Every structure is written in C-alpha cells, then in structure tokens.
Structure 1
Amino acid sequence: MAADQHILNYFTAMDNQGGIIVRGRTRFERLLLIGQCSVPLCVDALKAAVAEAKRGNDVQRYRDAFECIRVAAPDEPEAKWDEAWVTATEKANKAETHRLESELKGYKNNLVKESIRIGHRDLGEHLESIGDLNGASEAYIKMRPDASTQSHIQDVGKHIISILLQKRDWAAVLANANKVLAISPGSNEQNTEQPYQKMIYGLAQLGEGRYYDAAKSFLEVGDPAGCQAHNDVASPNDVATYGGLLALASMDRLELQTRVLDNASFRNYLELEPHIRKAVSLFVNGRYSACLGILESYRNDYLLDIYLQAHVPAIFSQIRSKCIVQYFVPFSCVTLDSLNAAFAKPGESIEPELINMIKTGALNARINTIDKLLVAVSTNSRAAMQKKALDSARNYEKEVLERIRRMNIAAADLEVKGSKKVVGGGGAGNMPGVGDVWMDETRRQPTSNDTMV
C-alpha cells in the first residue's frame, strides 16, 4: 500500500504542475497492453497494472494482470495471488450492488423520476466499475425514459458510449453519438461538447478503418482545454498523434497544408507532439525520406497505443505509398538505386514494394529490369486531345441536328400539343365550363386560345 501511495502522490504532483494524466479505466488497458507487448517495459507495466487493478473494484482485471505477471516475472511480489483482497472485494461488490438495487426499488415505489434516473446511473456506474459491462449498459439504457433535459440526455449518451468503447463496438458508438450527442445549432453547449463528440467520432471511424473521416474529426476537436476534461477517452497528445498520422495517410499535400499546418486550433495540439508537425511539414515540402524516418522512429510507440496498434501497419503502408508516388511524379524515369537510397531499408530492395504498388494501381509505372529504371507510363497526349475534339464535334453535330429537326417540325405545324385543365369552372361532362383555363403541355404556359368563355 505504501507503493500505491507513492504513485498517487507522484501523479498528484504531476497534475498540479499541469501535466496530462490519463484517468479512468483506459489507464489499466494501456498498462496491460504495454506489459503484453513491450519487452523492456513489460515487468514495470504489469506491476503498475496490478496496482491499478487493486485500486479499483474489478476482480477480473486483477486476474488478467496477475496471470501475465505470474508468467513474465514470477519472483516479483505482485506475482503472489492476493486472496484476501479478492475475497474482500467480491464481498464488498455484492453488498454495494444489493444496496443500490434496494435504493432503486424504493425510488421506483415513490415514482420520483429524477431519483429513479440517478438510481439507474449510480447502479450503472457501480456495475461498470466492477466489470459487469452488460449490466451497466442495461442500467444506463433505463435512464432514458427519465431524462428530461438536454444535459440528462447527453449524460445517458456518454455513459452508453463509455461501455461501447470498452467493447470496441464502433458501429454502435457512431449510432449513439449521432442520436444522443446531437446539439441544435446555436446552442451554448455546442462548443463545450464539441471536443468530446469529435474524439468519439474519430475513434469510432478509426476503429472502422475510415482514416480520412477519422482524420477530419480529430482535426476539428477544437480547444485542448476541453479535450483535457475527457482524458479517460483520449488525451490531447493522442488527438495530435491520431490526427497527424491519419491526415498523412489519407490527405494530399494541399489538404495537409490547409487542414493541418494552417489549422489554428489543431496547431495547439501539434505543439504537444512536435515530431508529428515536423513529419507533416517534411511531406508538404517534398522531403519524403526524412518524413518516413521520423515516423519509423516512433513506430514502436504507436504499436503500444490501445486504439492505434491494430492500424499501424496499414497507416504506415499508405504513407509510404504516398511518399513514393509523390517522389516519382516530377520524373519520367527514376533509377532503382535512387529509390532504394530514399526509401528502402539498409541491405534491402524496394523493387517488391514497387511491383505490388503497380499491381494494385497505386503507381502508374513500369520497371525496366535491364537498366534498373522505374519508367512512367505516359499517355499519348496528342491522341487524347484528338479523341476529345472528335467527341466534342460529334456531340455538337448531334445537338445541331436535333435543333434543326425541332425547327422543321414547328414550321410544318406538326407539333402535338397536349393540353391540361388547370382551373375548373364546372362544365358538364368533358366539355369545358365557363372560366375554364387550359395550359399547353409542351410550353407549360397558357396561350391566347386557351381561355374559353
């Protein structure tokens, strides 16, 4: 317990100094992921994960962390099963669950809507803290009938989205964000909720592999001060990393300049991660190998992120493909040696990657294996211009013939003019009545002979 107190004091001091502290249940997820993936940080991360689990009430999380550290470092004190803590925590959890359910039952008997809503919320938060995500989700959903104000509706939505984020149900996250977090334009709450909404949209779109949409969401998060209030979802550093990487993977040079580098609000995030800003600047300025070098030096850090890990290979592959294509654009042919010097790893060749890009259509070129050249497949500009001119001439000739035909039909009085009765005076049968107005179907305008008296 002394070690836990030291950690608490340390983070309190860091928070007082303005440091960004990750709170909530995602802290355990991040520590456990680092413990499972990082060799040098494994033991320290797992020890911290055990301590983090024992500060909460989720016994299953303690079991997960214990199983990992038992295998990785069996001699550590944290690798000894704490049966007393498990028994006491499970007993306390059952007692608290029974108490909250009894209170909620009393609120329902009294028929006080606000008390019922708060009772469901307290029960849901308790079930979420002990790891019963399904039970917590049901409790939060039951809050909806008793939510009477916009803030109550948003509170329900945030609780439900918290559960869905932990389940990684990205489609449901987007659906709930669209339904319950929508705020009418002009509302005073719109700016305060924008950072949270954009982060949620961005994470869900990232989870679904929609990198361009996710990049736009992260670039529109807004004020970092509003983002810090939701560190349990993502920190401002995360927003800078996600937004910059996804923009590099999905946006062209012009969009990177306008949406990222010239974005006044996102510039504040880039100051937290200067290497992202430098990588984007290098890409915009055409220094592709330097850009890729910076990103490669941080690849291991990205692989330890709970949201980004699964997408790092795809994101880096798209960025590399863009760099190679942009590097090749100004030239009709480039030697493979120069491409290897710019993009290949030491001792390796970029030729297999070029072949794959050509097959997928990402690169419009051919490889000359004899001269060791990458040659652009140039289109015949003269033939293309001639084809365009011929197509324009054919379209003009067709339009002229149609106009001449129309003029001849009109001159020969062969037009079929349909008529439609638009105002009725009440004539008998099919005969027009007094005051009936007839409209020409072709011209859609009354003619001089259309009014019958």
Structure 2
Amino acid sequence: MGETAITVPPFDADWFEVQKRKAKAKFEKLDQELNVYRCNSIKESIRRGFLYLGEHHLEMGELSKAYKCASKAIQHCCDKTTMLSAQLTFIKLCIYTQRWSEVISVSEAAIATIESENERSRSLMPYLGKLYAAKGIAYLCEGEFKKSAHAFLKVDIENFLFPENDVLKEKMASKCDAEQLEEISKERKLMEENLIVREILQTYIDCQYKKLFSLLDSIRTHLSIDVYIEPHVNSLYMRIRNRSFAQFLYPYSSVSMQTMASTFDTSVEEIERQLILLIEAGYITDRVIDSIDKYIYMRKPDPRHVLSQKADIQLRKLRRLVETTVIRNLIHRTNIAFKSEEPLMDRRRNHCE
C-alpha cells in the first residue's frame, strides 16, 4: 500500500508578521494594565493582571513566562476560591512543563485547604476531583504507580468528559499492586464506564492469564495514544506479567514448565528464560529450576542451615554484649564517667542539711 503524500503549505510571511504585531500589541496592553494595577495596590486586580498575561504567554507557547505569571498570581489571592483557581492554573502549567514534584506539592496543599473545612463547601468540591487527577498523573509520570492508583481512586468520575481515560490509568496503575485489587472491587464502580477494563480485572483475579494478556494486547494501541501513560506501557505490562508469574507459582510446591507455557500461551524456553530473570532479580524467591526435566520446585529449607543462621545471630548479639560490658568496666576503672546532675529536690534537701 502506498503512503498518501502530505503537502505542506508554503510559509506565509505576511500572516506571520501580522500575528506577531498583534501579539506584541496585546502583550504591551496587558503589561501596561498590570503596571497600573500594581500602582493601585489592589491584590485582586493584580491577580487578574498576572492571570491574563499568563494566558497570553500560554497562547504564544511561552511556557516558562506563563509559569512565572501563574506563580505570581497565587501570591495575590484574597480568598480560598480564587486561591484554588490560581493553583489549578499553576498546576496546569507545571504539567505542561513536566514539573511533577511541584504538581504533587501544590495539589496536596490545595487538597489540604479543601479538606480542612469543617463542612466541605459545595463551591470548593468541584476542585477536588481535578486536584486528585493532577496528583495521579504526576505520580504516574514519576513511576509511582501505587500512589497514582490511590489518587485516581479518589476522583469523582462524574466530573470528567472522558471517564474511560481515568479508568484506564487507574486500573493499569493499580494492577501493578495486588493490595489494590480488593479495594477497587469493593469501593469503586468505575469498571462500568469501560467494560473491557472490568473484564481484564476479572480475568486477573480468576488467574485466566492467556485471556488476560490477549485483552491487554487489544488495548495496547489505545494506551499508547495517551500522552501520560504511553512512556510506561512497557513497564506496566512487564510488571503485570511478573506479578502473574508469582501469583501462578504461589500455591504450588512444584509445577511443570509445560503447564506454565500452556497457561501463559508461550513456549517452554521462554518460560524458563523469564523464570531465570525473575529469580535472579529476586522477584521470585525460594524456587529452584530443573532445566533437565523442565520443572520448577519450591526450595525446602535446610534445618541445619536455619539452625546455623540462628546460632550466628545469637553469637553476634553475645559478642556485642561482652564488648560493651568490657568497655564499660574499663571506663569505670579509669574514673571516666558521665554523671547526670542531681534533681532539684535532692539539691534542696542537701542544702537544708
């Protein structure tokens, strides 16, 4: 199949110059208004001036200047509502510039402001879902999948235009941590927004690994379109596969690699290679591979070795006790000692005597 040629239109220098002059004139107007607001010393006017100037810089693609304006707008807020609005704008700029640590810190401060209210004001509640979503994205981009899942779990799904995107991020992050599975199944009904995600989660719980990986492959393209989760797709898939291996081996004292190959829909050689990597990485412990018979066994503890380890620990404790006792006696013989001062009541009693 031949590729369709894309014709790039020629550069319009006249249009570019016109837009450049308009942008310059708008900047000068906004900057002049901001200077007037500063002279009047009205905080709300100054905040709006920085906000409008930051929006102009954002339209022009000047992210660093827009970030500075959003940061200064926060410093001139008069009430909690305007503060939260300015913080959301600042968080948006931090996401654009990939300042994930600042996204987390500012979102946590804003969430604390909302939750500190004795009675949560309805006017502030719409901000809460956006703050948790931003926090979840920041943790996701930093590779903190467990914290990301916790943040996405607190998002009110009714506040979003495309809830399936939030569901996908939440489930992909949460499946990397088995502790989240019970919490998700009990507390959330987000799977209703995306049936395939619900099916993936159910197959993972039911240990239907062949179907699980088939479903994961079917949504891989959709996940790769997402700008935030795409860099972590391979890592997430690998973690899910590794956890599936560990989950499969958990109830068995010994199992054939042929059985595993049939369960995971792959070859025996690939199963053996992955098991070796997982054992070397310490992800799977107390397992021994029989490369001849193609079996993997649970390593039985040697009673003598266990007893030797316990004796070694006790010997180290005894040696430490003897050393400290000898040092204490030597210090006492040389009259080197640190004595605490007498209590106040004892000093008064001695003075009276």
TM-score, normalization: structure 2? 0.81
Task: Report the equivalent of 2:135.
Answer: 201
Per the TM alignment, residue 170 of structure 1 is displaced from its structure 2 partner at its CA by 1.0
Could you say if the C-alpha distance between residues 326 and 156 of structure 1 is closer, same or farther in structure 2, counting changes exceeding 3 Å? same
Give yes or no for the alignment of 1:128 onto 2:58.
Answer: yes
Higher-Rg structure is 1
| Of 162, 173, 185, the match for 1:246 | 173
| Of 71, 86, 97, the match for 2:27 | 97
Deviations 1:202-240 (A, max 9, x none): 11111111111111111121x2123x1xx6xxx422210
Give yes or no for the alignment of 1:313 onto 2:313.
Answer: no
Per the TM alignment, residue 246 of structure 1 is displaced from its structure 2 partner at its CA by 1.0
Task: Report the equivalent of 1:406.
Answer: none
| Of 173, 176, 186, the match for 2:118 | 186
Could you say if the C-alpha distance between residues 85 and 188 of structure 1 is closer, same or farther in structure 2, counting changes exceeding 3 Å? farther
Per the TM alignment, residue 113 of structure 1 is displaced from its structure 2 partner at its CA by 2.1
Deviations 1:288-345 (A, max 9, x none): 2322221122112212210011111111111001111111112122222221222244
Give yes or no for the alignment of 1:369 onto 2:324.
Answer: no
SS of residue in 1 equivalent to 2:297 = strand
Could you say if the C-alpha distance between residues 73 and 132 of structure 1 is closer, same or farther in structure 2, counting changes exceeding 3 Å? farther
Could you say if the C-alpha distance between residues 356 and 203 of structure 1 is closer, same or farther in structure 2, counting changes exceeding 3 Å? same
TM-score, normalization: structure 1? 0.64
- Give the counterpart letter for 1:432 in structure 2: C
- Give the counterpart letter for 1:104 in structure 2: L
Per the TM alignment, residue 86 of structure 1 is displaced from its structure 2 partner at its CA by 3.4
Matched residue count:
322
Deviations 1:249-273 (A, max 9, x none): 1224xx402x11111xx31x32122
Tell me how far apart the structure 2 counterparts of residues 127 and 187 of structure 1 sit (CA, whole Å). Answer: 38
1:282-431 matches, cutoff 5 A: 282-345=203-266, 349-364=270-285, 365-380=287-302, 421-422=343-344, 430-431=350-351
Could you say if the C-alpha distance between residues 432 and 154 of structure 1 is closer, same or farther in structure 2, counting changes exceeding 3 Å? farther
Tell me how far apart the structure 2 counterparts of residues 130 and 345 of structure 1 sit (CA, whole Å). Answer: 52
SS of residue in 2 equivalent to 1:323 = helix
Flag structure 1 segments of 5+ consecutive residues without an equivalent.
1-39, 41-71, 396-417, 434-453
Task: Report the equivalent of 2:85.
Answer: 155
Could you say if the C-alpha distance between residues 181 and 153 of structure 1 is closer, same or farther in structure 2, counting changes exceeding 3 Å? farther
Task: Report the equivalent of 2:328.
Answer: none
Could you say if the C-alpha distance between residues 157 and 358 of structure 1 is closer, same or farther in structure 2, counting changes exceeding 3 Å? same
Could you say if the C-alpha distance between residues 363 and 98 of structure 1 is closer, same or farther in structure 2, counting changes exceeding 3 Å? same
Per the TM alignment, residue 200 of structure 1 is displaced from its structure 2 partner at its CA by 1.4
Q: CA contact under 8 A between 1:114 and 1:146: conserved in structure 2?
A: yes
Could you say if the C-alpha distance between residues 281 and 382 of structure 1 is closer, same or farther in structure 2, counting changes exceeding 3 Å? farther
Tell me how far apart the structure 1 counterparts of residues 307 and 215 of structure 2 sit (CA, whole Å). Answer: 43
Give yes or no for the alignment of 1:172 onto 2:97.
Answer: no
Q: CA contact under 8 A between 1:219 and 1:243: conserved in structure 2?
A: yes
Deviations 1:52-94 (A, max 9, x none): xxxxxxxxxxxxxxxxxxxx86444xx2135154343333222
Give yes or no for the alignment of 1:432 onto 2:352.
Answer: yes
Per the TM alignment, residue 358 of structure 1 is displaced from its structure 2 partner at its CA by 0.9
- Give the counterpart letter for 1:80 in structure 2: P
Tell me how far apart the structure 2 counterparts of residues 432 and 280 of structure 1 sit (CA, whole Å). Answer: 79
Which moves more between the two structures, 154-163 or 90-99?
Answer: 90-99
Per the TM alignment, residue 124 of structure 1 is displaced from its structure 2 partner at its CA by 0.7
Which moves more between the two structures, 82-91 or 293-302?
Answer: 82-91
- Give the counterpart letter for 1:292 in structure 2: F
Which moves more between the two structures, 377-386 or 202-211?
Answer: 377-386
Q: CA contact under 8 A between 1:215 and 1:243: conserved in structure 2?
A: yes
| Of 205, 216, 222, the match for 2:150 | 216
Percentage of identical aligned residues: 22
Aligned-residue RMSD, C-alpha: 3.1
- Give the counterpart letter for 1:141 in structure 2: S
Q: CA contact under 8 A between 1:154 and 1:181: conserved in structure 2?
A: no
| Of 261, 282, 285, the match for 2:185 | 261
Could you say if the C-alpha distance between residues 248 and 116 of structure 1 is closer, same or farther in structure 2, counting changes exceeding 3 Å? same
Tell me how far apart the structure 2 counterparts of residues 342 and 379 of structure 1 sit (CA, whole Å). Answer: 28
Could you say if the C-alpha distance between residues 80 and 74 of structure 1 is closer, same or farther in structure 2, counting changes exceeding 3 Å? farther
Flag structure 2 segments of 5+ consecutive residues without an equivalent.
318-339
